[in-house]
Amino acid sequence: MPKIVDHPARRREISAIAATLIAEGGMEVATIREIAHRSGYSKGVIEHYFNGKAELISGALDWVNQGYASRAAQATFGLSGLAALRKRIEAILPLNRAVTNEWKVRLVFWSTAAIETELRTQQAERFENAVEFYASDIRVAIEQGDIAAGSAAKPLAHRLFASTIGLSTTALYSPSLSSKLYFRDEIDHLIHRLILGL
Amino acid sequence: MPKIVDHPARRREISAIAATLIAEGGMEVATIREIAHRSGYSKGVIEHYFNGKAELISGALDWVNQGYASRAAQATFGLSGLAALRKRIEAILPLNRAVTNEWKVRLVFWSTAAIETELRTQQAERFENAVEFYASDIRVAIEQGDIAAGSAAKPLAHRLFASTIGLSTTALYSPSLSSKLYFRDEIDHLIHRLILGL
Amino acid sequence: MPKIVDHPARRREISAIAATLIAEGGMEVATIREIAHRSGYSKGVIEHYFNGKAELISGALDWVNQGYASRAAQATFGLSGLAALRKRIEAILPLNRAVTNEWKVRLVFWSTAAIETELRTQQAERFENAVEFYASDIRVAIEQGDIAAGSAAKPLAHRLFASTIGLSTTALYSPSLSSKLYFRDEIDHLIHRLILGL
Amino acid sequence: MPKIVDHPARRREISAIAATLIAEGGMEVATIREIAHRSGYSKGVIEHYFNGKAELISGALDWVNQGYASRAAQATFGLSGLAALRKRIEAILPLNRAVTNEWKVRLVFWSTAAIETELRTQQAERFENAVEFYASDIRVAIEQGDIAAGSAAKPLAHRLFASTIGLSTTALYSPSLSSKLYFRDEIDHLIHRLILGL
DNA sequence: TATGAATGAGTCTTCATTCAT
DNA sequence: TATGAATGAAGACTCATTCAT
């Protein structure tokens, strides 16, 4: 009888370690050997759960995005429209060390996805997905009359998303652009812009 | 007396090749061996002009940013205020293959800079530098009455910069977000927002 | 379960080959590649058993010293005092090709140990260790009345050790100083000196 | 008209720098590039005065031995027999940092000379040379009646030489074996042994 | 399922040496 | 004589991956 193992849980566990390592030292540090060492499993086990390095990195990104997704879901629970949107934005901006690490992993992944065609498509879908979450909140806000009537939800969502990325990216390098105060002002501004339908 | 060589020119030449390789295949492809091969020089020569790999990658980024800088300088020649700003934005967005490649190099560099403290600081300075260019254009535009009086230039510049990054980054992965039409609309929108002082 | 390997035995096996190569051609020849080639293992295996070159060289020296130690232990088995001492000296002097090779390895190691602080301390301990073996034999000989009463064992051991090193070192370069006859005379002389307590 | 250069002086100058580098960091550090850098000359100049690396290392050893030779000559000036011998011994033992460095260079050279046949012969000659200096002092001492009549000078010289090497070599690694006090005692002892004709 | 031994390609880097100027 | 540009071999080392157990 084979040992019973929670396969998906193992994957998540290993993915989390991979993500941490990437955030700490980039791809150079996230070697299979190191992941094995940190996880306490053997090298063979890692390869058993992930079909090669690429899948492992992909897993790390999924774990990171999953983290954001559940955080956003929890924060927006019971909310809708502008209120939900604000929470959603707060959930993605690197307001603390943990989220900053998420962004580091994203950046590492993006830099390789920008080059490999296959990953590029996947990434585009991920973006579209995230934008759609914004868009649906915006649509509700429009219905609720919180956003200027006649506004197109999708373009607004895209712009919001772009600002979000820009804000997060620059924050990674400059302390002054990653203070909670700065982020609060910018979030206020983003919401304000939405209200104006811009 | 030794052979006379234009040292800086050599560096630029090699940097350009490194940048191209990074844009084509990421860091994995941009090995010293490959750079040597593409450039027609021997491996030793590369190390003769660059003190190790890190400096070489740094050189590639400098070359890329230099390319943008001179392109922007040329495009904004004789212009000021909003007109200059529009050209400056056009110069940074990945409207064509060449600029798209620039962005790929940036992304690769950012992903490692996010992890290494020393590079992080350098990157923050580069950002600040770029923002300041926007800010000075904005200041002129405010003086000229093109932007809502009483607007603070620096925050506007920062937001513009963030949007610029977000727009460019997402464009790398999705064709629909990298069409000239889309970019034109977004540029118009960015300018419009500035005019409103938002 | 993985293939079962006698780890220490492998280390010894590889160390022996490294030592042989060093004796044959110095550090220049004792490259990891060559060691791998001679051993029949792949380069990776070498690194699997040794954490870098330094450890490998260290292993080679250990193997050499181990060889002397067991040779001396065997030769002095059942003996004590002056009789043991004579055997011990015979075991260290380069009376044959094999021991000459041991000395070549020692010399190579000493030349690097003279420069690196950490190795220097290790080497001092090794010396002290070897001297102590002499000293304990000498103490017994004094008790047995074979060595002039009132002699201090440690200084005698140190002098004996120094002579041993000098004899062996010079022998490496000159055939006339490495003949068995010459060595026999010198050993006799060393013992004679000890008996006189000098 | 070619520039007038004191060829031998240049060689000595460069040899001295090479020797210093070897003493500081071993052969690994004594690269032609580094020697060029330290000397202020270009790489080409080094190769101009020395026909390859081997000759350069040889030059460093010569410079070191030359230093000892002139130091000994100066110290023994006007002396003969046992008195001269004492000074000669004092001149070779690593009583200070400078002489310790000399020994480091010797050790580095010996370790390579032990392997290469050609160098081995050269080294044997150097040894023989040094021994002969001792021997001639000893002969005078015998004539003067300071050393037991009927003693054979050459064997005594050889033993003295061996002790000298052993003392110096061990001193490189252990502070307790390189104190001035220890050396003085050992020198006294060596002289004492000679007087007894041992 | 799990282990870790083994592989060998590939990385950056350093170096002595040659040579055009 | 002198410079330093250029070469190319060789070094240590790391890594993803395969596979026998």
Q: Domain spans of chain B? A: 7-195
- State the Cα–Cα distance between residues C192 and D173, nearest whole angstrom: 29
DSSP 8-state code for residue D147: S
What pLDDT does D1 receive? Answer: 38
Is pLDDT of D2 > 90?
Answer: no
Pairwise CB contact (< 8 Å): A170 & B193: no
Is pLDDT of D16 > 80?
Answer: yes
Q: Which residue of D has its CA nearest to C130?
A: D170
Is pLDDT of B2 > 80?
Answer: no
C1 pLDDT tier (thresholds 50, 70, 90) = low
Could you tell me the end-to-end alpha-carbon distance of chain B, in angstroms, rounded to an integer?
61
Q: What is the percentage of chain A residues whose pLDDT exceeds 70?
A: 97
Long-range contacts for C61-65 (Cβ within 8 Å, ≥24 apart)? C61/C19, C61/C105, C61/C106, C61/C109, C62/C15, C63/C12, C63/C15, C63/C16, C63/C18, C63/C19, C64/C19, C64/C101, C64/C102, C64/C105, C64/C106, C65/C126
User: Which residues of B fall within a CB distance of 8 Å from A159?
Assistant: 163, 186, 189
Average pLDDT, integer, range A79-93: 97
Is pLDDT of C46 > 90?
Answer: yes
Residues A50 and A11: beta-carbon distance below 8 Å? yes
To which CATH superfamily is domain D7-195 assigned?
A: Tetracycline Repressor, domain 2 (1.10.357.10)
C17 pLDDT tier (thresholds 50, 70, 90) = very high
Residues B117 and A26: beta-carbon distance below 8 Å? no
Pairwise CB contact (< 8 Å): C107 & D103: no
Instruction: Flag whether A touches D (3+ CB pairs, 8 A cutoff).
Output: no
Chain A interface residues (partner B, CB cutoff 8 A): 23-26, 103-104, 107-108, 110-116, 120-121, 123-124, 127-128, 158-159, 161-167, 169-170, 172-174, 177, 186, 189, 192-193, 196, 198
DSSP 8-state code for residue C175: G
* H-type alpha helices, chain C: 7-29, 32-39, 43-49, 53-75, 81-92, 97-113, 117-143, 153-171, 180-195
A3 pLDDT tier (thresholds 50, 70, 90) = low
* Tens-place pLDDT, residues B143-193: 999 999 999 999 999 999 999 999 999 999 999 999 999 999 999 999 999
What is the pTM for the complete model shown? 0.90
Pairwise CB contact (< 8 Å): C174 & D24: no
D52 pLDDT tier (thresholds 50, 70, 90) = confident
Q: Note the strand E nucleotides within 7 A of protein beta carbons.
A: 1-21
Residue D77 Rama label (left phi>0; alpha psi -120 to 50; beta): beta
Return the closest-CA partner of residue A108 out of D194, D66, B111, D20: B111
Averaged pLDDT score across all residues of chain C: 95
CA C15 to chain centre: 14
